Chain A
């Protein structure tokens, strides 16, 4: 998406959980007063825009990878860094008390999904003393001991072509090397991605062409893996409208080299808002506005006590896509400060392949 509107802003909620009233999942429908707002027609600049945008309320660096062990066993890996501003920067400066003061909160999520287990870790930090942050060039995103860093090269990706990725939790860890020759992909109108009929939008671009190799550390031992990965970058200040409750998002990599990013935002009135980007193997894109993509639940399963649709029918008739998307492991629940479902999927139907599915707002 991703609207990956995983609301770092609602880190607040982890503290004293309050009912999120009519403000969408994680309060992402909250008004954007005082913050910058995405403008249609803005040309994104690189490597600058790989870095953080503190004037916007929320932002993320979101990497998902579909991997395989030497024995053909499938794995999914997630590495995410969320930034959330508690106050617009101008206001924040006036309230500065000491070097500890920061209105920028950072939250990292890491996960490994195997066909029969799901390992999750969360890392939190305030934006002080360099505990967490993102710099554009040379590219480096980090929180505590987790890191995603570039070597400055990578041609078409303008600084994020080669990445080293690491994270660990109490029962798992990974270290991956990523490289991509493909170009950056811009969703919507040159990266201006509309999220609702009433005009909420975010800046959204991706690098979906990474080849990956590396090492996973699991309770059962080390595993060498190879595969592909997809990086999403998104930032905004009010990406959801107030009546949107959550979303279902997929990134699909088909065996013929083409890719599809699609999401639907579930609205309380039942009129879901959908959006999709078709990506050819050479990086050419076609954006599809509301209602072109169709996502239909096939069946739900129980993940950590919630009924979550882990089997979907995804259709994009204009591209002849009619596929079934099935979770590799139905239990890929992210038991983090803001819980959601995120895990690798297998694709069957008109096209075959692998991908990632994310679902939020299921209670």
Chain B
């Protein structure tokens, strides 16, 4: 037979079973949609702040500043350049223009500006220069071109010699960017440099900084890296979610395809017998699958786009609040999504259809065409499943014991999930047969026996439900743990009520004296640090005072009993978790820190958690710090004060010393902001949870629906024995809910396992720190209720349909009985 005719014959199956067809289509679309949606959010957020990160002026690069915080002189810049350093001067300051707005003026030298900063001066499209010289001339000579952030587009500049004012999306809000020569004039800071930005590649032959400019210190670009790390962690979560959602979706697809293939065995046999070659039949089946995959994939991509569009504003807000990363909150439609969405739909479909297809191809041409009931699972396949599950768990164990790296971590997660899913049907059968043994009354005996009989047909849907629930529990637990840990950590880290940074050493001295005399102030704690090498790694060493603030609050993972006293005596050092993990350091191990000329050795007194910081960090007593590094800048302090008086003190400091903005921070504000941020993260997580659960609910629904028709032969005899259709329908509903309930109970340990893997394995591999796990039993309860509702809804429709079945239909069962 010709291919077209074969295709038509195959297609007729779907016209008889439109519901099955739509189940397949919707299942695949949902799976693709979730995947695409998560991808869309990820790529959009990434590309937005990849651009944005270069706009956080010079923070993307290391820079030099004076240890005492005063401006750098041009002579120092000259000396550095002549010693082989590649630096670019940057001058910044705050100024009020004619309309009263306070603007941050940033002056750069475009000639030496490192390439990484080029995006700063990228104007809005279509506003490129007209002089043909590429804009540099306009930037350097009057009338000067200046760049402003979008919010300053209407700024009235009462400055002579200003030419074009170009709006640049890449500038942080409230910023005016201009050549350093004009900035010096506007800010009235002639001969001053705020900092020297370091080009990424420096010559090896350059003279040491301590010889050329001992008054300068190198500030590592930690903020940019921190942000990248934290946002990576966020995206990792989303990606894990996307994959899980897709896996759940595939279970539906496989279930439906499997069923369709089983039901078409007779049709295929007839086709073969009437002369269709195996090749033509296989091609026809593949074409059919491809077509379905493409259609469903297209719907899925569109669906994903809408999911993303709905969620993105929240994601954008989350990232902006949490990490200061700018995400536009708008979604472009990328061609890549189409391709990857369609690709994954097609790949998933073929993956799901693989076994069914090979079985069909291997089918002997004259084999019995009777549909093999799903229930007729042989003991062999049970054994095979158990073996496969065992292999998965063994693989996970082996990898956990001996593997390392992010890919390995994710493989472990995958292996555990698949292993658990494979175990589900048999575990379920075991439990049900236990109930069966306990049952006394005939109806309940029948109920359990029938449930066990029905189990294989539902097992795929139940696996999907279990994975969805486990993913829910796992990801919620992770996000929740992250929130608790992070907030707790913030509480500990920001134990003091106020944080203040003096403009220079002199002001810092005045501030200390002033605060010491202030009646409301309980304590002034120094936050002084130097950049040096800790155990060979570049990192920061902080000096801490001996104060109960630290003893009571500082987040320690491990410590000796006398840690704080030892630190106070200058006999111990505290290090952060990242350094300890990288170097395999434990409490008691010696650690060296580099002084100007020699190395100083101290035993580790404790290890503290330090989320979001990829670099090494350590703390020693402040007296030891000043003794080892007499030059250490002493401008930052934490102030302990009665919380109710903090705001008042903040105002007084502001009035007395003219400090504000970033120089004077109220911890309550930071905490409030971080809480808001996590609320938004939760919104996103919950939305994804509901979607995943809906997909699983749909899987159950389609399975029950497709089975309901086949179940008449099982139900008809019981009906004939006297149970009403209503009673039977009720039992059907109960069965659905019971199976879902059992699945949930089994999903719980799996979800916790998943959460633990994400927190303790994936996080460590990805970011170098481990998060403690907190369990949220109330959330599980809520999830359980949602899950039961979803299953009840899924089971209600087939049950209702059964209750409406004409008695004649039921009688027919006996007439047709073979």
A-side interface residues toward B, CB under 8 Å? 9-18, 21, 23, 27, 86-87, 91-92, 94-95, 97-103, 105, 124-126, 128-131, 144-145, 168-170, 173, 217
Contact = CB atoms under 8 A, between A and B. Distances in A.
Contact of A15 (B81, B84, B135): B135
A91 B142 CA distance: 9
Contact of B179 (A94, A100, A144, A168): A100
B723 interface: no
B74 A99 contact: yes
A259 B511 CA distance: 73
Contacts of A173: 205
B135 A97 contact: no
A171 to B, nearest CB: 8
B519 interface: no
Contacts of A170: 201-204
Given A87-B141, A145-B82, A99 B190 contact: yes
B185 A97 contact: yes
Contact of B81 (A9, A12, A87, A145): A145
B133 A12 contact: yes
Closest 3 A-B residue pairs measured CB to CB? A100-B181, A95-B142, A98-B184
Contacts of A27: 132-133
B77 interface: yes
A103 B78 contact: no
A99 B191 contact: yes
Given A97-B185, A100-B181, A173-B205, A144 B137 contact: no
Contacts of B182: 97-98
Nearest to A127: B111
B144 to A, nearest CB: 8
Interface of B is mostly: loop
Report which residue of B109, B110, B133 has the largest number of chain A beta carbons within 10 angstroms of its beta carbon.
Answer: B133
Nearest to B140: A86
Contact of B134 (A16, A23, A103): A16
Nearest to B193: A100
Contacts of B289: none
Contacts of A97: 142, 161, 181-182, 184-185
Given A98-B185, A98-B190, A99-B74, A144 B81 contact: yes
A108 to B, nearest CB: 12
Interface residues of B, number: 42
A44 B139 CA distance: 35
B141 A103 contact: yes
Interface in B107-157: 107, 109-112, 118, 121-122, 128-129, 132-137, 139-142
Contact of A12 (B135, B190, B204): B135
A88 B447 CA distance: 99
B26 interface: no
Contacts of B485: none
A99 B141 contact: no
Nearest to B89: A100
A101 B181 contact: yes
B81 A125 contact: yes
Nearest to A126: B111
A202 B132 CA distance: 23
B78 A131 contact: yes
A172 to B, nearest CB: 10
B110 A129 contact: no
Contacts of B245: none
Given A27-B132, A168-B84, A126 B109 contact: yes
B202 A95 contact: no
Interface in B41-83: 74-75, 77-78, 81-83
B696 interface: no
B247 interface: no
A15 B109 CA distance: 12
B128 A124 contact: no
A15 B131 CA distance: 14
B111 A105 contact: yes
Contact of A124 (B112, B121, B140): B112
Interface string B200-221: 0111110000000000000000
B180 interface: yes
A15 B115 CA distance: 9
Nearest to B187: A98
Contacts of B142: 94-95, 97
Contacts of A95: 141-142, 161
Report which residue of A16, A23, A86 has the largest number of chain B beta carbons within 10 angstroms of its beta carbon.
Answer: A16
B112 A129 contact: no
Interface string B387-418: 00000000000000000000000000000000
A101 B77 CA distance: 16
A92 B112 CA distance: 21
Contact of B203 (A124, A130, A168): A168
Given A15-B121, A128-B74, 4 more contacts: A97-B182, A103-B140, A128-B181, A144-B82
Interface in B265-313: none
22 contacts: A9-B133, A12-B133, A14-B134, A15-B134, A16-B128, A18-B128, A18-B129, A23-B132, A86-B141, A97-B181, A98-B191, A99-B190, A100-B74, A100-B109, A101-B181, A102-B140, A126-B109, A128-B181, A130-B78, A145-B81, A145-B84, A170-B204
B202 A17 contact: no
A12 B181 contact: no
A100 B181 CA distance: 5
B330 to A, nearest CB: 25
A90 to B, nearest CB: 13
Contacts of B191: 98-99
Interface string B166-206: 00000000000001111011000011000000000111110
B136 A145 contact: no
A358 to B, nearest CB: 23
Contacts of A21: 132
B185 A13 contact: no
A92 B141 CA distance: 7
A11 B111 contact: yes
B136 A12 contact: yes
Report which residue of A23, A92, A97, A99 has the largest number of chain B beta carbons within 10 angstroms of its beta carbon.
Answer: A97
A16 B135 contact: yes
A142 B135 CA distance: 26
